[in-house]
Amino acid sequence: MREIVLDTETTGLDPFTGDRIVEIGAVELYNHMPTGEVYHQYINPMRDMPAGAFAVHGLSIEFLSDKPVFATIAKDFLDFIKDSKLIIHNAAFDMKFLNAELDKCNLPKIPMTQALDTLAIARKKFAGAQNSLDALCRRFGIDNANRTLHGALLDSEILAEVYLELIGGRQPDFVLKVVQNSGRDTPSGDYTPPQRPEALPSRISADESAAHVEFINELGGEALWKR
């Protein structure tokens, strides 16, 4: 059974008001084990980057300016996911963006039935508890120390571990295989995520922090959907 654990980063909250995808990361699982096959792509959104979004993922327009537009990578992306089940945290958000981008390219949309929402699973299993990705990492003892900023591929790797805990527990060697397939030295060793912008600030400025809070607050009840 092939599954794809997937995450996106965007310029904002709503593709129907001009927001775009800026990063896609995906990890292939086969029979609930990582195969080592991943998909990772930065994308030029052909628009500005709101301060609140930048504070979430640290991807500037300067960094993204020489990256391909979505239309250029759409076929490769679809060829990677095929008709496999897509494991996504808050699937409605990512699927909305992916299908909006595919629609712009006059390509078939991905059916919602192809997506499995780990947020919905967590809410059913842990009703009333915090079920953000970070909260689930704490619950399951999953190391997410490298998640100082959102990154689509890193978040997909973390979500793969969370997903298998949600459906019954990781196999004993799952973490080691994720580490080996991702190029890490040891499960607790130093890990360098896919290259981030060189100009990433070591600290978020007060203005950027305020913009981030405003950006997240716009999500209302879903304010911590990926934190």
* Sign of the dihedral through C-alpha 181, 183, 186, 192: negative
Angle at the Cα of 103 from the Cα atoms of 102 and 106, rounded to 5 degrees:
90
pLDDT tens string 64-73: 999 999 999 9
- Can you name the residues that pair with 38 across neighbouring β-strands? 27
Distances from the Cα of 33 to the Cα of 26, 171, 174, 223, angstroms: 14, 8, 7, 31
C-alpha 164/C-alpha 160 separation (Å) is: 6
Cβ atoms 144, 161 nearer than 8 A = no
pLDDT tens string 33-50: 999 999 999 999 999 999
Lowest-confidence segment of 15-24, 30-39, 169-178 by average pLDDT: 169-178
Q: Which of 32, 40, 57, 150 is catalytic?
A: 150
The model's confidence at residue 173, banded by pLDDT at 50, 70 and 90, is low
Cβ atoms 225, 132 nearer than 8 A = yes
* Residue percentage of the chain with pLDDT more than 90: 70
C-alpha 80/C-alpha 74 separation (Å) is: 10
Domains in the chain, please, with CATH?
2-222 (3.30.420.10)
Taken as a whole, the chain contains a residue count of 227
What does the pLDDT read at residue 145? Answer: 87
What does the pLDDT read at residue 171? Answer: 55
Is position 150 annotated as part of the catalytic site? yes
pLDDT tens string 109-150: 999 999 999 999 999 999 999 999 999 999 999 998 888 789
The model's confidence at residue 161, banded by pLDDT at 50, 70 and 90, is very high
What does the pLDDT read at residue 68? Answer: 98
C-alpha 69/C-alpha 73 separation (Å) is: 7
C-alpha 97/C-alpha 21 separation (Å) is: 7
